[in-house]
Amino acid sequence: MNTILETRGLTKVYRADGVATPALRGVDFAVGRGEFVSIMGPSGCGKSTLLYLMGLLATPTDGTVILAGTDTRGVSDGERTRLRRAHIGFVFQRFNLLPTLSAQDNVALPRRLRGMAVGDAPREMLRAVGLEDKRRRRPNQLSVGEQQRVAIARALVTRPAVLLADEPTGNLDSTSSGRVMDLVSRLHAESGQAVVLVSHNEQVAARAHRLVRMCDGRLITE
């Protein structure tokens, strides 16, 4: 396997109010370039923590994340941000779109942040997710399913090697959920980007080529 993202002995203990909560207990996990893998498991088993650590949005208590050949253990915050922006796109259950910006301006933002030329890329991504005609609308003028499609366009507009999606259909009814998953599958097939999708819905997770289960901070199958 040509690995794009790998974790070794990944461990995370949260400490709050004098209480230590072990969320990850030594996870070894590898994602190949272009692979589509789902992570399933009950609430609280560490799925979001694993995704955040893989996306360099948080730091582990122990172990390491290797992204595009770079071992990120001990690298500076600036370098982590640079690596994340170069290689990772994120989609969350809550879309985190900026409410005052149009769909198109929301999608343009990651390219602006990276100093990339904006050009037609946001409009083309919105066309790919079936929302070109609604590109001037603000988030509150779109349905929740449409907002999630905008969030996917925003995550992919920089052509990241890895898309990390945390329960992207968690707020959607089954019709919108099916549409969003059709979209993720199609964009994955067209782009060759790796997709790591967290879900506790069997139907959603079954879209992936490989299914990994988590329980109590550990992977139980790979």
Q: Which parts of this chain interact with ligand ADP (CB under 6 A)?
A: 14, 16, 21, 23, 41, 43-49
According to DSSP H, which parts of 75-128 are helical? 77-87, 103-113, 121-128
169 lies in the site for Mg ion, by CB under 5 A: no
Burial label for 204, CB within 10 Å (0-12, 13-18, 19+), is buried
Residue 70, beta-bridge partner list: 67
**Residue with Cβ nearer ligand ADP (48 or 64):** 48
Residue 202's binding partner among ligand ADP, Mg ion, none (Cβ under 5 to 8 angstroms by kind) is none
**Residue with Cβ nearer ligand ADP (92 or 95):** 92
Single residue of 48, 64, 72, 106 touching Mg ion by CB under 5 A: 48
**Residue with Cβ nearer Mg ion (7 or 48):** 48
Tokens of 2: 């040509």
Q: Which residues are CB-neighbours of 76 under 8 A, at least 6 positions away?
A: none
199 lies in the site for Mg ion, by CB under 5 A: no
**Residue with Cβ nearer ligand ADP (45 or 125):** 45
Residue type, 146: E
Helix/strand/coil for 150: helix
CB of residue 58 to ligand ADP, shortest distance in Å? 9
**What is the contact surface with Mg ion in residues (CB under 5 A)?**
48
